[in-house]
Amino acid sequence: MRISAKSAALALGLLVSAAWPAFAEKVTVKDVTGRDVEVNVPVSHVILGEGRQIYFLAALDKENPFQHVVGWRDDLAKADPETYAAYLGKYPEVAKLPTFGGMKDGTFDIEQAVSLKPDVILMNIDAKTATEEAGYIEKLAKVGIPLVYVDFREKPMENTEPSMRLMGQLTGKEKIAEDFIKFRADSIAKVTDTLEKANPKKPVVFMERAGGYSDDCCMSFGNENFGKMVELAGGINMAKDIIPGTFGNVNPEQIIASNPEQVIITGGNWNGYVPGGNWVGVGYGADLKEAHRKLENLTMRPAFTGVQAVKDGNVHAIWHQFYNNPYQFVAIQEIAKWLHPDLFKDLDPEATFKELHARFLPLDYKPGYFVSLKDAK
């Protein structure tokens, strides 16, 4: 949408309660692409190139992660409606924030962005090609607006720590960023240290991306993101040698031939994209009984004919957005518990996620992020 002076003023009104230091200092930061970028820190006016970037911004500002946001992409309400509704309920002013289209689909309005006078624009690394082709970095530089890349999706196991450290620099929240990084590393180590000592047999895992989102089968992950999480959790990612890079597809014949011992499907409430779809609606406060029903339904597709995981009931669903935020260590714990239940019988991913909320996030925790056919209906 185009914004009026009035709505811009309303957005800037979010800044009144700012708790970050008032005096900015120009520093050079290195973003996750290796670019050196000059930014006045701590930043007071931020544009989020994707609405879901609030996931990591919230981890650094428990009081009000929106207080310095002057505009954001309009994806959160559709991609994760429950989280959006929870934030809207706590911070009603979010409804007045100016919204943008996406960089990759060419609907990002640079004139609108400039009019909001941001100190920095945050972009995901997957928008880099589109950003460069449009010449946006140069255009923004002419009016003194820096653009910085972060990454929690393309190579999250490599880029989450530097991205959080970068955000700590930009916001003046370095100590909180380091506390978060340590909590994340310690949570992952609870899995990897145990696996290193026990050295259990690794099951073959098919990790399906957004199962039921469309009738096509099947999207999956290569050597990063959920594919890498499976490996860290003590599994063999079935698609690693099929998919070059992070994201791609496998066909039903490849799944049947690989005969995975475990199947994990990412899901979310995607009514905004695919109304009434077959997706498994796990997420913030989700109805797990309904999620269980829809998960069971997905096992009846031809791609899962005779597959060992289905025969044994080792089919699970996990919140899709773990693929796009720094909370993915919770997913690693849950996957490890599914793959090696005896080894991790004392590990409690739910408690880890509760602690994350209590220590870092503005929202109260609500369960609903995981479901398994092993769970009672």
Residue 110, pLDDT > 80, answer yes
Do 109 and 229 lie in one domain? The reply is no
> How high does pLDDT run on average in the chain?
93
If asked whether residues 161 and 298 sit together in one domain, one would say no
Q: How far is CA 328 from the centre of its chain?
A: 8
For the chain, percent of residues with pLDDT exceeding 70: 94
Token representation of residue 366? 């609500």
Same domain for 146 and 225, yes or no, is no
Per-residue model confidence (pLDDT) at position 280: 98
- Tell me the pLDDT band of 108, cut-offs 50, 70 and 90: confident
One domain, residues 227 and 360? yes
pLDDT band with cut points at 50, 70 and 90 for residue 105:
confident
In this prediction, residue 377 carries a pLDDT of: 65
Q: Is residue 187 part of a domain?
A: no
Strand, coil or helix: what is 42? coil
> Which of the 8 DSSP states describes residue 95?
G
pLDDT at 77 over 60: yes
- Do residue 148 and residue 227 come from a single domain? no
Considering its fold, how many domains does the chain have in total? Answer: 2
Mean pLDDT of 16-32: 71
230 and 317 fall within a common domain: yes
163-190 mean pLDDT: 98
Tell me what pLDDT residue 17 has.
38
Among residues 319, 215, 216, 230, the alpha carbon closest in space to that of 266 is found at 319
pLDDT reported for residue 348: 98
Helix extents (H) in the chain: 5-13, 54-58, 76-79, 81-90, 110-115, 128-133, 136-142, 156-171, 174-198, 226-232, 252-258, 288-298, 308-312, 328-339, 349-360
Kindly state whether residues 172 and 215 are assigned to the same domain.
Answer: no
Q: Is the pLDDT of residue 10 over 50?
A: no
User: Which contiguous run of DSSP H or E holds residue 267?
Assistant: strand 262-267
- What is the domain range of residue 216? 202-372
Q: Which of 180, 212, 240 is the last residue of a domain?
A: 180
How sure is the predictor about 14, in pLDDT bands with cuts at 50, 70 and 90?
Answer: very low
Q: What is the pLDDT of residue 84?
A: 98
Is residue 34 scored above 90 in pLDDT? yes
Domain membership flag for residue 185: no
Q: What is the pLDDT of residue 16?
A: 38
* 192 is a domain residue: no
Question: 251-284: per-residue pLDDT in tens?
Answer: 999 999 999 999 999 999 999 999 999 999 999 9
| pLDDT digit string, tens, across residues 185-232 | 999 999 999 999 999 999 999 999 999 999 999 999 999 999 999 999
Of the candidates 126, 146, 180, which is a domain's last residue?
Answer: 180
Q: For the residues 4-21, what does the mean pLDDT come to?
A: 41
Pairing of strands 25-30, 147-150: unpaired
pLDDT at 376: 75
| Cα(30)–Cα(32) distance, integer angstroms | 7
9: domain CATH number is 3.40.50.1980
Same domain, 169 and 216: no
Q: State the pLDDT confidence band at 106, using cuts at 50, 70 and 90.
A: confident
- Residue 25 shares a structural domain with residue 160: yes
What pLDDT was estimated at residue 24?
Answer: 77
Q: Are 144 and 40 in contact (CB under 8 A)?
A: no
Q: Is 116 a domain residue? A: yes
Reported as a pLDDT band with limits 50, 70 and 90, residue 23 is low
Instruction: Say yes or no: 222 and 123 in one domain.
Output: no
Q: What whole-number distance in Å separates Cα of residue 64 and Cα of residue 87?
A: 10
Query: How confident is the model over 14-18, as a mean pLDDT?
Result: 39
